[in-house]
Structure 1
Amino acid sequence: MHIFGTLAAALTIAWPLTVWWLQESLGPWPLLLIGCSLIAWRLPQARGFAVIAAIGMLAVGLAIDAELGMRGYPVAINTVLLATFATSLWQGMPVVERLARLKEPDLPPQGVLYTRRVTQVWCVFFMINGAIAAWTAAYADLALWSLYNGVISYGLIALMFTGEWYCRRRLRSSDHG
């Protein structure tokens, strides 16, 4: 079972490149069904949102076009993450605060405020990235869709993590200095 989980995780991350590579030989319907299954199964922390997103992809495939539904995978992922992060701002503890408390259980009040702001910034990121993913799904060719959603968007995520890490280090050094 461990190898299956690892393979599914790799497929989830490499979905746009997998689609680019297999779309011509498999066609959009099998890939759409695999994508819907991956979303519903691989996001257990957001199971309700993930199932709704998978149903949305399938509905687009049935009502409009299977390839558009298949290309909706990155849009669905961004939507699930946006819903999860945004909901956490109103219910319970913001996602970034939960993550921060794993390392620092006694997070000071300024840390709580900072993690709330970072959660909000991630919400904006998921909105913008999801909108670009939707544009590439609807208007770009498969190569550009795969490039943006399988390479560029991951680079932007890395920039977000790096930028946040840099900001956090600067804030911490100014608190101690």
Structure 2
Amino acid sequence: MMPLLMRILPWLITLAWPFLVWLAVSRPQLHWLIPLLALLFLLRWRGIRGSSGAFSRAGQLLALAGAALCLASFLLRSHQLLLWYPVAVSLVMLLLFGGSLFSSMPLVERLARLREPQLSPAAVRWTRRVTQIWCLFFVFNGSVAIATCLAGNLHWWTLWNGMISYLLMGVLMASEWLLRQRIRGHA
């Protein structure tokens, strides 16, 4: 049961983050949630620190960043710091995807080769383009996340970082998958 919980916990924290921050910031009596969030991030870091790979390293970095933002927010009593975690996520993901464009194999191609080791030249070009599209998404998402932080409107921040950005990610993933299936059908 515990290993399953440790695998699910990172996803639950990520999905619940905007709503937990909203609760902690909008309800002063729930200020105790902030150290709890820091502890959850540290548990997340501990659970993935032995793993290898680019996503694991990104997850470790984000878990430490989340814990640091929580602790700094709690100690400095500056809840504004909590709002910057989605910006950190977009930045780390942009660096991960964008950095892979300068390697011999972009990240999306690496992921595609896990299922299909022999990719056609057209598929390789497709994966490079998809990696570039994800980079544009992370620039856009991070920019809007910054704007919501600077605006200081907790409702806008929660709406964007807790719902709209996830919906856009889902639309991007689904669109790419549908287009890939269509291209495969023509090939």
Q: TM-score, normalised by structure 2?
A: 0.76
Which residue pairs with 2:124 in the alignment? 112
Name which of 164, 169, 172 aligns with 2:176. 164
Q: Number of residues paired by the alignment? A: 174
> How far apart, CA to CA, are the structure 1 residues paired with 2:43 and 2:139?
21
* Identity value in percent: 38
8 Å CA contact retained: 2:38, 2:67: no
Q: Which has the higher contact order (CA 8 A, sep 6+)?
A: 1
Q: How does 1:71-110 map to 2 (within 5 A)?
A: 71-110=83-122
Q: Distance in 1 between matches of 2:68 and 2:80?
A: 11
| 86-95 vs 29-38, greater mean Cα deviation | 29-38
Q: CA deviation at 1:170?
A: 2.5
Superposed counterparts of 1:22-171, under 5 Å: 22-23=24-25, 24=27, 25-26=30-31, 30=35, 33=38, 37=42, 44-46=56-58, 50=62, 57=69, 66-171=78-183
Match for residue 51 of structure 2? Answer: none
| 1:128-173 superposed Cα distances (whole Å, 9 cap, x missing partner) | 0010011111104212211110111110001101211222123223
Find the aligned partners of 1:154 and 1:69 in 2 and give their Cα distance.
21
Unaligned 5+ runs, structure 2: 49-54
1:84 deviates by 0.4
Gaps of 5+ in 1: none
Computed over aligned residues only, the root mean square deviation of the Cα atoms, in angstroms, reads: 3.1
Q: Deviations over 1:31-81 (max 9, x none)?
A: 7745864786666232675478559857x859x983222100111111111
Q: What is the TM-score with the length of structure 1 in the denominator?
A: 0.80
Per the alignment, do residues 92 and 61 of structure 1 end up closer, same or farther by CA in structure 2, a change over 3 Å counting? farther
